[in-house]
Chains A and B, each alone.
Chain A
């Protein structure tokens, strides 16, 4: 086995953290995409009633969003511990 290569970036943790923050910022956008699909849907006009399926879709999407939020919140809280939130001088402008 070869020895592990030295990391290309030293501030891997803060880099990872900032990407997690990006994801946290984008999560509501994903939510908008999930929640606004029904806008294109006309349950009254469908030949077969599909309200239940629509509801299932919504609740499934909703739950998926919650799961994603759980993961992100955990990741953020974990990475929050060592360096504090402004651990990197290269923190992006907010």
Chain B
């Protein structure tokens, strides 16, 4: 007999051994001596967490109740592993290529790094794992109880809940210590893996030892055992084909989708080739674990009291035979099974909870981004530690509330069906590029809800969530909604019923949703990367150059990976780019590698979101593109408008500038005008006064009197003309002139003008070139005024043409309803600066020629032409001074009338 305190001591010693092994493994790994820690054997042994206390104790109980049906739980995984080339190899490759941290991360990453899916998967896994963890606590507590009840002194077993609490607390401590040491997925948990490998050996050895003892020690060899089997009540076990197939399927699905299996199989995998070994070694492990189950069950049923709990035969058989040490070994085997499962499951679940729930919420809450070093790392680690404690607390609470429910196998299967809901999304994700996020979300949610409704909630019994009435008659009396007979299909085994409906609806919704929806670009890239993971150089190119600054990225990465590791990574990347220092160019390749690296620590969705904060606008989605396109369109329109406006503004500004310049010139001119007009008036007045004073002299000879009187007369004429011009201009400017419209021949008018102008500087020889035939055209206008303009132009030419042999060319023609007459001389012309001033009053280019006017001629011409509905303009570039006179052939609606 084993005294209880020795049992506790052995138990503690075993736990301490586990701590030491884990610690030593961590130390070795830190010193870079991971070597055999990462061998195929260790990998295979770590996979054995599939075999929990449910297997260790429960399989015998299962066999005692349902015969050989228990093997289906191991046949499914066997099929998956011998078929490793099809699914597992791809899963592991994807897991390494994408740095997947958990099954939720895999699903989230595949479907466009969607965190919604990550949350759904996390929820399913946590809900399914809670009773499973409770089950492990229960088995440990029960096995303690076995030893306590066997103790003759009858010492009181410490409160069962207290035992469970101690176990849960110890497990939480171990898991936190070795499960949350560092963050990067690909180099972590050496200690944990080593410890569970040791536990795998312990439980296998324990079960084999009990089996060997039972077969050869109790039953007396293989032959008698076979006889016993056929003679036992188990021999008539009812093989239900539906359950046989269904359970094999569900266990095959679960081995792929259980979070803890995914953790050791994909996340902790260090070398793809280990799978080749595991493909036969793991089935062999399962084979050995189940080899003696049936004999133990049969012998137990025969040897022990009829009321004995078959779930504990592994312990009670050796005890009843007086083999305390063997029982102790068996106890340690069961303890190992329970603890290794709880440790890995809580690591896997805490990773999921922190990466898909806590960090995204935290990121959403503080939009500023993870730019403070250290905060993310601390946050993630803290989130994981709290999650581990919370998950174990949940398991404990479940155990405490359920008070330890009946058969172990039932709880395990419920969990299996729950996590198996992930299978369609997972397989669809890695084999079918057309699988979309919407399809996966629909399938997962529907499967999850059906599982909850038909299996999980009813499992609490009639006193639980669903009352007996709901179970028998459906909610609100809706018969077709009975949780265990959906749509009125009755009489199916509840488990198969749940499997059938959840998988049918899950897969159906997944496929239909995928077929009908359209994936986002990131989804399609990830889909390609997952499905074509074996084709080289296919990967999601998510980030474009620019945006992200290497320094910011380094700061952020230090916060997540730790300063040393992040710096080493950046330095290596910079080195690979041929740069010294810590800041590589932020090429898309670099950013992609960095994202994967971060994904290893905090999950793909989170890593993507974090990088996105730096490489803003670089994640190209169709929506983004569309938004950018419409924005660009708007900007384009806006800028076109702006351009038009600014052009208009520029034109206005130019016009204003010109007007301003003109005003300034005019003001100067006005001053000049005043001084000129006083000068113009004063000059004749002075001579008139002087000569009239002379005339007053009575002794002046008559000849001189005559001469001076003439001078006075001439001066008064000049004065009069000046005043006439001024008046004329004033009238013209006010458009108050009375036009005398007549029909005339242009040729005659020109003749008249040349004739009249010929007395200007009559001494000069002036050649005038005309084309008489072109000039014969009628004009309807105020001919006197027009002639006045012509005279002015011709006499101007006569006055100012500075050529040695002055010539004037007169060209007349009709153009588009207007008569155009050009006067072109061969002088030096008018300088550009003066061209715009010549039509202003009193503008004179030189003071040298004073013959006649006071600089009013061209001003008057301009006003006349304006009054006639025509124009006069300086024509540059003609080799001399050139003026163009244009007037309508007939007056437009007759300015004549206006005058009236």
Contact = CB atoms under 8 A, between A and B. Distances in A.
Contact of A24 (B68, B85, B241, B273): B85
A69 B279 contact: yes
Interface residues of B, number: 41
Contacts, number: 117
B231 A49 contact: yes
B280 A44 contact: no
Given A25-B86, A65-B82, A94 B235 contact: no
A69 B239 contact: no
B244 A59 contact: no
Contacts of B279: 69, 72-73
A59 B291 CA distance: 8
Contacts of B81: 69
Given A55-B229, A55-B294, A58-B68, A39 B234 contact: no
B67 A58 contact: no
A73 B235 contact: no
Contact of B68 (A21, A36, A54, A68): A54
B248 interface: yes
A49 B68 contact: no
Interface residues of A, number: 42
A37 B604 CA distance: 43
A49 B230 contact: yes
A66 B280 contact: yes
Contact of B238 (A44, A68, A85): A44
Contacts of B231: 49
Contact of A36 (B229, B245, B280, B283): B245
A12 B184 CA distance: 43
Contact of A65 (B86, B227, B241, B283): B283
B68 A51 contact: yes
Q: Which among A55, A80, A94 has the highest number of chain B CB atoms within 10 Å?
A: A55
Interface stretch (B71-79, B441-449, B674-682, B764-772): B71-79
B822 to A, nearest CB: 85
Interface in B74-126: 75, 78-86
Q: Which among A56, A65, A73 has the highest number of chain B CB atoms within 10 Å?
A: A73
Contacts of B241: 39-40
Contacts of A68: 82
Given A25-B86, A49-B231, A70-B280, A32 B79 contact: yes
Contacts of A85: 534
A59 to B, nearest CB: 7
B41 to A, nearest CB: 14
Interface in B215-231: 225-227, 229-231
A58 B283 CA distance: 13
A51 B75 CA distance: 17
A15 interface: no
B68 A31 contact: no
Contacts of B80: 28
A87 interface: no
B67 A39 contact: no
A20 B166 CA distance: 52
Interface in B534-555: 534, 536
Contacts of B487: none
Contacts of B67: 43, 51
Interface string A17-57: 00001001101100110011011111110001111101110
A59 B287 contact: yes
A55 B67 CA distance: 9
Contact of A43 (B85, B239, B273, B291): B239
A27 B83 contact: yes
A52 B458 CA distance: 35
A49 B228 CA distance: 11
B237 interface: yes
Nearest to B234: A51
Contacts of B245: 36, 39
A49 B235 contact: yes
Contacts of B236: 43-44, 49, 51
Contact of A39 (B82, B226, B235, B244): B244
Contacts of A62: 71, 75, 78, 283, 287
Contact of A77 (B71, B238, B276): B276
Contacts of A94: 534
A76 B278 CA distance: 13
B364 interface: no
Given A41-B239, A44-B238, A52-B230, A58 B71 contact: yes
B277 interface: yes
B20 interface: no
Contacts of B655: none
B457 to A, nearest CB: 30
B83 A25 contact: yes
A10 B230 CA distance: 57
Interface of A: 21, 24-25, 27-28, 31-32, 35-36, 38-44, 48-52, 54-56, 58-59, 62-63, 65-70, 72-73, 76-77, 80, 85-86, 94
Given A43-B67, A69-B280, 9 more contacts: A24-B83, A25-B85, A27-B82, A50-B235, A52-B226, A66-B283, A66-B284, A67-B280, A70-B280
What 5 A-B pairs are tightest by C-beta distance, nearest first? A28-B83, A49-B235, A69-B280, A49-B230, A52-B229
26 contacts: A24-B83, A24-B84, A24-B85, A27-B83, A32-B79, A35-B79, A36-B245, A39-B239, A39-B244, A39-B245, A40-B241, A42-B239, A49-B229, A50-B230, A50-B235, A54-B68, A56-B226, A62-B71, A62-B287, A65-B82, A66-B78, A66-B283, A66-B284, A69-B280, A86-B536, A94-B534
